[in-house]
Structure 1
Amino acid sequence: MKKLKAIFLTLLSVSILTACQSNKTSGEAQANSDEKSGKKIELTYWYAWGDKIGENNQNLAKMFNESQDKIHVTAEFQGTYDDLQAKTQAAFAAKNAPEVTMNEISSIGVFAKSGMTENLTPFVEKDDIQLDDFNPGLMGNSYVDGKLYGLPYLRSTPILYLNTTMLKEAGLDPSGPKNWKEFEEYARKLTVKGKRVGISMPADIWFFEAFVAQSGGKMISEDGKKAEFNSEAGVKALSFWKKLAKEGIIKVPGGDEAGVISKQDFANGRAAMVFSSTADLSYMLSIAQEQKFDLNTAFMPANDSYGVPTGGANLVMTAGLDKEKQEAAWEFIKWMTAKEQTIYASKYTGYLPSRISAGNSDEMQNLYKEKPQFKVAVDQLQYGHARPMEEAYPEVVNIVKDELARTILQADLEPKKALDDAAEKANSLLK
């Protein structure tokens, strides 16, 4: 009996060892089998925004698939940045996340610190990617704790769009206002009661970050533990907005569709100016052509200095992929952020050329001569700032946006009081 038991245990041990070895090598065996059979590695890529931006993503994925025969990428639209972020988090928790996704820059830190995205440093070092070819103004939101978690892809800054047909009719310089004083004068002269306002501008956090920077301020302290948007710079910005809104020379739409409403106001001639992303440039040019007006772009106006936040998204790899998928995902990210594709995306959409070599290329330089509107955001980038990446910042953003809108709507609410209240709530989250 003891002998039979010993034999049984020996056979069981061999069976377990064989199973372990089988599991260990099954992935490699499948990869070898796929390679021999010519089966491609399948990747899913998630992106935000439609129209020209969506077309650009679909076009590039198709071009990548046609450029080689080992990897096939399926590009899938997921809505706004907020939609994309929420869906990616849910998919990661359910273990069916896309291998590659766009990561809005202020969420890079949240995703990296929660273990949802892969450190790209080893891949960059292995392939000797020249990171100094990426515009330094766009790299601030690429690193978390000294490690690279994303490569700049579709990056932007807010710029000022101008209906220069209206500007000329009002006797204004079509190059646009250079500072807050001129901006106020333009808004006043361009407003026609009952017909149009000088500018339609939502109480958007991106624009508020810009106005705060223009007075030398910051949203969050350097150590990320304290709100600073309620400093003198923040109060100046919100007081300026409130003054213009009270006079009726700017329109401040509310709600989730505020940005869309502002762009519609501009397109339909109900506003002579609008702040929006450089990513909207191709779309705005097509609207101007349809509506038969001349369009120009300009820096956001300065106060003590010029200043804008950068925006847009980096490309990231989700964490937990096997080696084969990692290598394939990296090949796609590397290809999408290369010089040639950077040129294509910038020309197609209006997004900034994230690589210096792309911006200096004959193709982009010729475009700037033909359509100088494309060069404005590139020139403005010297005044660009990285956005805060603290884990609590998305919640802080919602708090600030609520107070911005409330201050503009309520005549008796002082900007300093509103921002102090927002800072108190923000500090409890940041700590």
Structure 2
Amino acid sequence: MRLSPQGRGIGAAALFMSLGLVLSACGDGDSGGGGGDLTAPGPEVLDDLDEAVQVEFWHSMDAGNGQVLDQLIDDFNAENEGRVEVTGSFQGEYDDALANHRAAIQQGDTAELIMIFDLGTQFMIDSGQTVPAQSFIDEDGYDTGEIEDALLNYFTVDDELRSFPFNNSTPLMFINRDAFEEAGLDPDDPPTDLASIREAAEELTVTDDDGEIVQYGFGAPLYGWYIEQFMARAAAPYCDGANGRSDRATEVLFDGPEGVELVEWWEQMIEDDLALQIGRNIDDGMAAFTSGRAAITLESTGALSNYIEGSDFEVGAGYFPLISEGDPGGSIIGGASLWINGEGHTDEEVRGSWEFVEYLLTPEAQSTWHAGTGYLAVNTEGYDGPEAVERAEEFPQFEIAAEQLAESEVNENTAGCMMGVMSEARAAAEEGWEAALTSDATPEEAMSEAAERVGGTIEEYNASVDE
């Protein structure tokens, strides 16, 4: 199974259609939510234990990423023998993990700690099952100074950190450096906005003797996460209510000027034979780039290693592009965060879960995690660890991702839209985008129809939490 690092989550859309039962059973749906009455216990609850506290950790990391996580779990357990013992439990892809957690809430039997993808944040708050991350920070006086600001920004709601960032990524623009040089372009000065991508694509598109295109200048999958990125970098909210940060979101805004301009540009690039039409499959986008069919693409930082290992050319990286020159920039993260369940769990279990999370956020653990998986180092000091330094020497392109995130403006737009049906909204944006490229509908019509479709789902979800 290929788990996209940023968490595609499209399969989660159906989950939110039947959340009323869960949410009505969990709390009153106050916009604060998130277990407001649940607080973090102090370290004294782990004094004088007769046996180690058992912490079950549900996550979505398998294959190589799972092996790295298992090693971190083993290292923590070795350091805390007789005190806290963590058991990892793979729950499938992100949407599967959320479905399993929802079922566990209904059954009153949740895991102590769970990894939930970014699109599930509002539901986790509304469910009222977790101890807010801020409570642990306040209880221990935990210093978040070295935690990446952009990550804290995303998971902070109503001025409180709700969960702990962990396996997070950000998108970049990837380029075929060999193709750039052959076209007379400087690979160290890649395009920065849609207009300059088009200019580069005009030079990068190559035909054979029969006039068949063998290399397109640009090609990327129709992934809704990218629309969110483009809008954030243009300082445009993705949904109302200040991106759902000041009031519960009631509508999406991806059919606004920024979203329509992006889709219009994409359509024109394809019509002019400068861009390869890929569709919504991420793997198809990766194959188009690594095979040399597209000289410029967009993807998550988590794909960097696969791109380098799977390409016969030198891979370069640049900041995720702007819609227009002069846009303020910024970056929305993807991936998942860690939530500590409080409802139905003892103080010892809650405290043990926090101490494990605290360990995962150390520079040492983050160096291991970043180097072994390609995810961002949540704790920026992790980049100075020996494993991370070695990785940077092997993949200097990754420094672009760290720089882009460090320079990201921290505001409501780069925080991303907070909405209970964010997964459905992302799917709807993709559907509208695809319809504009494959039907007679104009980009404005297609995106407006998509936004209208998801509006009913937003209304239904909000009603389920009594808003």
Mark yes or no: TM-score above 0.5.
Answer: yes
**Aligned letter for 2:66?**
G
Partner of residue 373, structure 2: 349
Out of 298, 322, 330, the residue aligned to residue 275 of structure 1 is 298
The 5 Å alignment of 1:248-287 reads 248-254=273-279, 258-287=281-310
Does residue 324 of structure 1 match 2:352? Answer: no
Distance 1:194 1:78, change over 3 A: farther
Counterpart secondary structure, 1:53: helix
Partner of residue 80, structure 2: 68
Query: How far does residue 298 in structure 1 lie from its aligned partner after superposition?
Result: 0.9
Instruction: Answer yes or no: is the 8 Å Cα contact 1:162–1:296 preserved in 2.
Output: yes
Task: Give CA deviations for 1:196-222 in whole Å, capped at 9, x if unaligned.
Answer: 433331211111112223444221121
Instruction: Answer yes or no: is the 8 Å Cα contact 1:217–1:229 preserved in 2.
Output: no
Q: How big is the alpha-carbon RMSD for the aligned residues of Structure 1 and Structure 2? A: 2.6
Provide the rounded CA distance (Å) in 2 between the counterparts of 1:212 and 1:143. Answer: 20
Partner of residue 234, structure 1: 259
Partner of residue 17, structure 1: none
Partner of residue 195, structure 1: 214
Partner of residue 407, structure 1: 436
Task: Give CA deviations for 1:206-259 in whole Å, capped at 9, x if unaligned.
Answer: 11112223444221121423332222111111111111122333234335xx01
Does residue 107 of structure 1 match 2:120? Answer: yes
Partner of residue 309, structure 1: 332
Partner of residue 19, structure 1: none
Distance 1:49 1:409, change over 3 A: farther
The 5 Å alignment of 1:11-410 reads 35-36=49-50, 39-69=51-81, 70-175=83-188, 176-192=190-206, 193-221=212-240, 222=242, 223=247, 224-254=249-279, 258-288=281-311, 292-302=312-322, 303=324, 304-305=326-327, 306-320=329-343, 321-359=345-383, 364=388, 368=392, 371-381=395-405, 382-383=407-408, 385-410=414-439
Counterpart secondary structure, 2:142: coil
Provide the rounded CA distance (Å) in 2 between the counterparts of 1:96 and 1:196. Answer: 53
Counterpart secondary structure, 1:59: helix
Distance 1:260 1:323, change over 3 A: same
Distance 1:239 1:51, change over 3 A: farther
Which has the higher mean CA deviation after the structures are superposed, 86-95 or 122-131?
Answer: 86-95
Instruction: Answer yes or no: is the 8 Å Cα contact 2:152–2:161 preserved in 1.
Output: no
Provide the rounded CA distance (Å) in 2 between the counterparts of 1:191 and 1:80. Answer: 37
Which has the higher mean CA deviation after the structures are superposed, 125-134 or 138-147?
Answer: 138-147
Instruction: Answer yes or no: is the 8 Å Cα contact 2:204–2:295 preserved in 1.
Output: yes
Query: How far does residue 67 in structure 1 lie from its aligned partner after superposition?
Result: 2.3
Query: How far does residue 189 in structure 1 lie from its aligned partner after superposition?
Result: 3.1
Query: How far does residue 364 in structure 1 lie from its aligned partner after superposition?
Result: 4.9
Instruction: Answer yes or no: is the 8 Å Cα contact 1:49–1:81 preserved in 2.
Output: no
Counterpart secondary structure, 2:115: strand
Task: Give CA deviations for 1:62-120 in whole Å, capped at 9, x if unaligned.
Answer: 22222220222222333332222222222332333322122212322211211233223
Counterpart secondary structure, 2:401: helix
Provide the rounded CA distance (Å) in 2 between the counterparts of 1:264 and 1:125. Answer: 47
Query: How far does residue 366 in structure 1 lie from its aligned partner after superposition?
Result: 7.0
Distance 1:102 1:58, change over 3 A: same
Instruction: Answer yes or no: is the 8 Å Cα contact 2:364–2:385 preserved in 1.
Output: no
**Aligned letter for 1:85?**
L
**Aligned letter for 1:112?**
I
Provide the rounded CA distance (Å) in 1 between the counterparts of 2:265 and 2:62. Answer: 33
Percent identity over the alignment? 25
Query: How far does residue 139 in structure 1 lie from its aligned partner after superposition?
Result: 1.2
Which protein has greater RCO, CA pairs closer than 8 Å, 6+ apart?
Answer: 2
**Aligned letter for 2:367?**
I
Counterpart secondary structure, 1:379: helix
Provide the rounded CA distance (Å) in 2 between the counterparts of 1:164 and 1:74. Answer: 44
Distance 1:240 1:50, change over 3 A: farther
Provide the rounded CA distance (Å) in 2 between the counterparts of 1:44 and 1:194. Answer: 53
Name the larger-Rg structure.
Answer: 1
Provide the rounded CA distance (Å) in 2 between the counterparts of 1:342 and 1:59. Answer: 12
Query: How far does residue 54 in structure 1 lie from its aligned partner after superposition?
Result: 2.7
Query: How far does residue 269 in structure 1 lie from its aligned partner after superposition?
Result: 2.8
Provide the rounded CA distance (Å) in 2 between the counterparts of 1:165 and 1:172. Answer: 10
Provide the rounded CA distance (Å) in 1 between the counterparts of 2:104 and 2:273. Answer: 45
Instruction: Answer yes or no: is the 8 Å Cα contact 1:107–1:389 preserved in 2.
Output: no
**Aligned letter for 1:270?**
R
Provide the rounded CA distance (Å) in 2 between the counterparts of 1:216 and 1:387. Answer: 11
Query: How far does residue 326 in structure 1 lie from its aligned partner after superposition?
Result: 0.9
Query: How far does residue 311 in structure 1 lie from its aligned partner after superposition?
Result: 1.3
Partner of residue 18, structure 1: none
Instruction: Answer yes or no: is the 8 Å Cα contact 2:150–2:332 preserved in 1.
Output: no
Q: Output the TM-score relative to the length of structure 1.
A: 0.83
Instruction: Answer yes or no: is the 8 Å Cα contact 1:203–1:252 preserved in 2.
Output: no
Provide the rounded CA distance (Å) in 2 between the counterparts of 1:55 and 1:283. Answer: 17
Instruction: Answer yes or no: is the 8 Å Cα contact 1:106–1:141 preserved in 2.
Output: no
Q: Which runs of 5+ in 2 are unaligned?
A: 1-44, 207-211, 460-467
Provide the rounded CA distance (Å) in 2 between the counterparts of 1:407 and 1:284. Answer: 29
Counterpart secondary structure, 1:140: helix
Provide the rounded CA distance (Å) in 2 between the counterparts of 1:377 and 1:316. Answer: 25
Out of 431, 448, 455, the residue aligned to residue 420 of structure 1 is 448
> Which structure: greater helix fraction?
1
Aligned residue pairs total 392
Instruction: Answer yes or no: is the 8 Å Cα contact 2:368–2:388 preserved in 1.
Output: no
Q: Output the TM-score relative to the length of structure 2.
A: 0.77
